[in-house]
Amino acid sequence: MEVQLIKIEKRNDVSRSIFLLTPILAIFLTLFGGGIIFYALGFNPLEALKFFFITPISDLYGLSELLLKATPLCLIAIGLSFCFKSNNWNIGAEGQLIFGGIVGGGVALLFYNHDGFYVLPIIILSGAVGGMVFAMIPAILKTFFNTNEILVSLMLVYVAKLLLDYLVVGPWSNPEGFNFPETRQFSASARMPILFDGLRIHAGIFITLVTVFLSWLILYKTYLGFQIKVSGLSLKTANYAGYKGKIMIIIVFMISGACAGIAGVGEITGPIGQLHRNISPDYGFTAIIVAFLGRLNPVGIIFASLIVALTYLGAETAQIFLQIPKYTGQVFQGMILFFLLASDYLLFFKIKFLGLKKNDI
């Protein structure tokens, strides 16, 4: 039997501009792939893509919704970029978001008949601490027991989800709520201030923007950021330079957990206003895509979060106008990640065909 021999070689000369441009290529490929899917479903691809990507943001309300969805995505992805840059694979931001939501929500319920400017900051802070503590579990297990942080952080997502389920059905359910699985509505002073009347976009966006700026500062201008960068590029070098690797693992997980926790609080004190079973449409998982699409760069992540947020909106419009399930949004998110990874692979490696060879071992 004859077989084609293939050799995969690393490229040494990857230019930075192409590295930054491949995400855009991935987005175009996603649009193209989406067009083919729509065509196969019997729609006019251009028409359908228009419903998906343009109709949702053609009015002020749509733009506000876009920012509303981009806010948590961007915040979580920024946090994750700390982990990913230092080779720590935190896959459980969804769990940290939910746990932050639980802690923040619990505090909000505690204050449900209180008024005062101090209520909201306390809730946000407790949400951040909640997410942080929850993220420290995989970090501590990794540093002291050599567990795999991917598995631990991922499995903890389901722990957080079930805990939330239990709380909203049981002890925290609204006493006047006819046994619906939800808590009381939070008081007005426990809610994020709305920026414009009639739109849902809230003050959480400022938290995200400040975080973006701070993380840029930390990553590029501080010793901590330098250590994160070196550990990500070469653990051997970090060890040789004497960086305290274990403490750093815990720090990046704490940052990332805090960001996810705040994102969770932003959801429940923003558009939702109470705790119920589904406080996040998988923002914590989707943010992984956002982080990579944004090349782990704070500015890149802002743009990536807007694009990925659009897939959430597009899916809803497509459900209304084209009668296709809103899970199409996840198909698009999956395609973005797939095309990004594929183009990265081809960017960093070249495939050589070595010709036919007789195969007899």
Q: Taking the CA of residue 52 as centre, how many other CA atoms within 13 Å lie in the half-sphere pointing to its CB?
A: 29
Shortest Cβ 75–another protein spacing (Å): 23
Asked if residue 320 binds another protein (CB under 8 A), the reply is no
Q: Which stretch binds another protein (CB under 8 A): 155-163, 230-238, 274-282, 329-337?
A: 230-238
Q: Between 44 and 237, whose beta carbon lies closer to another protein?
A: 237
Give CA–CA dist 127/106, Å, rounded: 9
Q: How many CB atoms lie within 10 A of CB 80?
A: 29
User: What is the rounded (10 degree) CA torsion for 106, 251, 291, 104?
Assistant: 10
**Of residues 181-220, those binding another protein (CB under 8 A):** 220
Shortest Cβ 30–another protein spacing (Å): 29
Asked if residue 223 binds another protein (CB under 8 A), the reply is yes
- Whose CA is closest to 188, among 275, 111, 265? 111
Asked if residue 298 binds another protein (CB under 8 A), the reply is no
Asked whether the beta carbons of 118 and 239 are under 8 A apart, the reply is no
Q: Which stretch binds another protein (CB under 8 A): 45-53, 122-130, 136-144, 221-229?
A: 221-229
- The residue from 11, 221, 350, 352 that contacts another protein (CB under 8 A) is 221
- The residue from 241, 299, 320, 356 that contacts another protein (CB under 8 A) is 241
- The residue from 158, 213, 240, 327 that contacts another protein (CB under 8 A) is 240
**Of residues 11-30, those binding another protein (CB under 8 A):** 12
- The residue from 168, 230, 258, 260 that contacts another protein (CB under 8 A) is 230
Task: Identify residue 281 by its one-letter amino acid code.
Answer: P
Give CA–CA dist 34/14, Å, rounded: 29
Shortest Cβ 352–another protein spacing (Å): 15
Give CA–CA dist 329/308, Å, rounded: 9
Asked whether the beta carbons of 292 and 77 are under 8 A apart, the reply is no
Q: Between 235 and 342, whose beta carbon lies closer to another protein?
A: 235
Which positions from 244 to 283 touch another protein by CB under 8 A, shown as an x/- string?
x---------------------------------------
Determine whether 147 is exposed, middle or buried from the number of CB atoms within 10 Å of its CB (0-12, 13-18, 19+): middle
- The residue from 21, 60, 233, 320 that contacts another protein (CB under 8 A) is 233
Asked if residue 355 binds another protein (CB under 8 A), the reply is no
- The residue from 44, 58, 234, 278 that contacts another protein (CB under 8 A) is 234
Asked if residue 84 binds another protein (CB under 8 A), the reply is no
Give CA–CA dist 41/38, Å, rounded: 5
Pairing of strands 2-10, 349-358: antiparallel
Shortest Cβ 189–another protein spacing (Å): 36
Q: How many CB atoms lie within 10 A of CB 237?
A: 11
Residues ≥6 apart with Cβ < 8 Å to 30? 332, 335, 336, 339
Residues making contact with another protein (CB under 8 A): 12, 220-226, 229-230, 233-234, 236-237, 239-244, 360-361
